[in-house]
């Protein structure tokens, strides 16, 4: 029976899991759960993930949620996943756990908070919240600094000095990609000082393309709409209310 | 060479790691890093953990931080650790990862936030912050509800229906124990509605005693001092400034 993946591609942990599956030839059925249509809050979805969040998987009789746990499970259970994604060596593996745990309390609190409280707020009909955005920016800057001074230390092209990506690279990079929604200028202001981070994002993208770009298409479309609100009526997808609905349905 | 564990027992993830080592007969040297004396901010400690947090371990040439990653490493690398702590079975193991990942964004944001912004604030010379405390209480209540309705579902005495504890039980219970600092009345108000959580804390305590109580002694002492400030001059440890110094040195 094919792996079922419950997904909304506007979610960064969802994208990390999809890219991982595609890159590693894991056959899966993508089941769209539209967050803004509150499909994640239905009793049906609560049967899959009682925490009502995305992503979640069902593999035969086995259900699992939390993207890091899913990535570890997939790397451990599916044949043909190269060792570098989640090495069997206990020392290398432990370092990857350390990055993933660190991610939760640091980087993860940056991009989403900024995006939600700035560019997305008006679209979602919520007030701008500069204080929350500033708090998110603090987490982001501190995290990017640490990524450069700690995790990207060494000569490798990936975290922990690796020459090939691990599940940690994919998870963290997908998170940072959320900043695309802010538009070129703002994204460059935030990422500009972090040249090594920028190179690492590019390395991770190259190592997982064409899947990386394909899975991020939805984000780029949303970005265009947010940056060119006057074009909203000119797109094939319809007028302003449609744009709001589309974006609202994804974040 | 003996495992080195960098620790301040007022920190809940530190306590989880110490109890795990003691319970599993892992020989270690406990190296005190006094957070309030800013010993975690020294260049010497940054060599151990560049993120400047506790706990961290050094095992021969191998360094590791983040308590969940440490618990997984210890369970995987030291002989004699019973399978139930971190099962070899990929399905059971994945569920434990799921709990631990969930912990980061949920329960972990409860007890510490409440304690820091209420009972500890005056001791630390900081203003009370009822808003932050309320936010922490929101995370705590939501998390305790989910622990009962999701993680403690089933007939087992531990998380995920287990009859023996895993590293997830230890990590989460040590976090909730931080509420002891609030004193009996307030702790009971917060935990009172959650009978199954209370029973599970007791089960985890019983399964790991005498180490659980021994490692939590420092917390109980701090609690006594916070609850009986008038007694502060009567203790062997000296006067009020000493109490402040002692507590300050630990949180």
Query: Considering only CA atoms, which of B12, B54, B7 is closest in space to residue B219?
Result: B12
Average pLDDT on A153-178 reads 96
Interface size A-B, in CB pairs within 8 Å, comes to 77
Give residue A230's pLDDT.
53
Interface test with B, best of A52, A60, A69 (most B CBs within 10 A): A69
Q: Where do we find the tokens 């509150």?
A: A38
Q: Please name the member of B77, B93, B97 whose beta carbon is closest to the beta carbon of A90.
A: B77
Mean pLDDT over all residues of chain B?
A: 91
Residue B117 and residue B129 in contact, taking contact as beta carbons nearer than 8 Å: yes
**Are the beta carbons of A101 and B104 separated by less than 8 Å?**
yes
Give the pLDDT band (50/70/90) at residue A228: confident
Give residue A140's pLDDT.
97
Residue ranges in B78-210 assigned as alpha helix (H):
90-105, 111-117, 120-123, 130-146, 167-177, 184-191, 195-208
| DSSP code per residue over A220-238 | HHHHHHHH-GGGGGGSTT-
Lowest mean pLDDT, pick from A131-145, A221-235, B2-16: A221-235
Average pLDDT on A2-23 reads 97
Pairing of strands B3-7, A3-7: unpaired
Report yes or no: A94 at the B interface, CB cutoff 8 Å. Answer: yes
Q: Where do we find the tokens 């043909």?
A: A80
Beta strands in chain A (DSSP E): 3-7, 28-32, 56-59, 62-65
Instruction: Report pLDDT digits (tens) over A21-37.
Output: 999 999 999 999 998 88
Exposed/middle/buried for residue B235 (C-beta within 10 Å: 0-12, 13-18, 19+): middle
Q: Quick check: B89 pLDDT over 80?
A: yes
Interface test with B, best of A81, A97, A148, A149 (most B CBs within 10 A): A97
Give residue A243's pLDDT.
47
**Are the beta carbons of A146 and B76 separated by less than 8 Å?**
no
**Are the beta carbons of B64 and A95 separated by less than 8 Å?**
yes
The rounded percent of chain B whose pLDDT value lies above 70 is 91
Q: Quick check: A234 pLDDT over 80?
A: no
Report yes or no: B194 at the A interface, CB cutoff 8 Å. Answer: no
Is the peptide bond preceding residue A55 cis, with omega within 30 degrees of 0? yes
Residue A9 to residue B249: CA distance in whole angstroms: 46
Distances (CA, A) of B66 to A8, A104, A180, B141: 30, 11, 30, 25
Instruction: Report pLDDT digits (tens) over B23-82.
Output: 999 999 999 999 878 899 999 999 999 999 999 999 999 999 999 999 999 999 999 999
Q: Quick check: A242 pLDDT over 60?
A: no
Q: What is the ipTM of this complex?
A: 0.92
Report residue B157 CA to chain centroid gap. Answer: 20
Report yes or no: B97 at the A interface, CB cutoff 8 Å. Answer: yes
Instruction: Report pLDDT digits (tens) over B132-165.
Output: 999 999 999 999 999 999 999 988 999 999 999 9
Token representation of residue B174 = 């040590």
| DSSP code per residue over A45-94 | HHHH-TT--S-EEEETTEEEESHHHHHHHHHHHSTT--GGGS-SSHHHHH
Give the pLDDT band (50/70/90) at residue B244: low
End-to-end CA distance of chain B: 30
Q: Quick check: B241 pLDDT over 80?
A: no
Q: Give the residue on B whose Cα is nearest the Cα of A95.
A: B64
Q: Quick check: B233 pLDDT over 70?
A: no
**Are the beta carbons of A94 and B73 separated by less than 8 Å?**
yes
Residue B119 to residue B133: CA distance in whole angstroms: 10
Q: Give the residue on B whose Cα is nearest the Cα of A48.
A: B150
Report yes or no: B90 at the A interface, CB cutoff 8 Å. Answer: yes
Report yes or no: A95 at the B interface, CB cutoff 8 Å. Answer: yes
Domains of chain A: 3-82 (3.40.30.10), 84-227 (1.20.1050.10)
A91 contacts in chain B (CB < 8 Å): 62
**Are the beta carbons of B66 and A101 separated by less than 8 Å?**
yes
**Are the beta carbons of A68 and B97 separated by less than 8 Å?**
yes
Give the pLDDT band (50/70/90) at residue B247: low
Give residue B230's pLDDT.
53
Report yes or no: B47 at the A interface, CB cutoff 8 Å. Answer: no
**Are the beta carbons of B77 and A62 separated by less than 8 Å?**
no
Residue A132 to residue A125: CA distance in whole angstroms: 16
Partner A, chain B 7-46, Cβ-Cβ below 8 Å: none
Report yes or no: A228 at the B interface, CB cutoff 8 Å. Answer: no
Lowest mean pLDDT, pick from B53-62, B168-177, B212-221, B235-244: B235-244
Interface test with B, best of A59, A71, A94 (most B CBs within 10 A): A94
Residue A173 to residue A164: CA distance in whole angstroms: 14
């Amino acid at each position: 029976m094919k792996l079922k993946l419950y997904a909304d591609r506007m979610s960064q942990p969802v994208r990390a899991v999809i890219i991982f599956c595609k890159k590693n030839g894991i056959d899966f059925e993508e089941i769209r759960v539209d967050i803004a249509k509150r499909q994640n809050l239905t009793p049906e979805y609560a049967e899959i993930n009682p925490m009502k969040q995305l992503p979640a998987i069902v593999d035969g009789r086995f259900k699992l949620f939390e993207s890091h746990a899913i990535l570890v499970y997939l790397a451990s259970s599916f044949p043909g996943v190269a060792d570098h994604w989640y090495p069997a060596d206990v020392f290398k593996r432990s370092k990857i756990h350390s990055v993933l745990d660190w991610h939760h309390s640091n980087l993860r609190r940056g991009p989403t908070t900024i995006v939600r409280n700035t560019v997305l707020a008006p679209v979602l009909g919520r007030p701008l919240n500069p204080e929350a955005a500033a708090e998110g920016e603090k987490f982001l800057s501190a995290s990017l600094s640490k990524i450069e001074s700690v995790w990207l230390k060494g000569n490798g092209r990936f975290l922990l000095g690796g020459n090939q990506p691990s599940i940690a690279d994919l998870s963290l990079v997908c998170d940072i990609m959320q900043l695309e929604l802010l538009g070129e200028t703002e994204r460059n202001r935030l990422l500009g000082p972090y040249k090594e981070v920028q190179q690492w994002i590019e390395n991770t993208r190259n190592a997982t393309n064409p899947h990386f770009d394909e899975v991020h298409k939805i984000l780029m479309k949303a970005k265009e709409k947010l940056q060119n609100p006057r074009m909203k009526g000119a797109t094939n997808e319809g007028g302003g209310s449609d744009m709001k609905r589309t974006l609202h349905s994804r974040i």
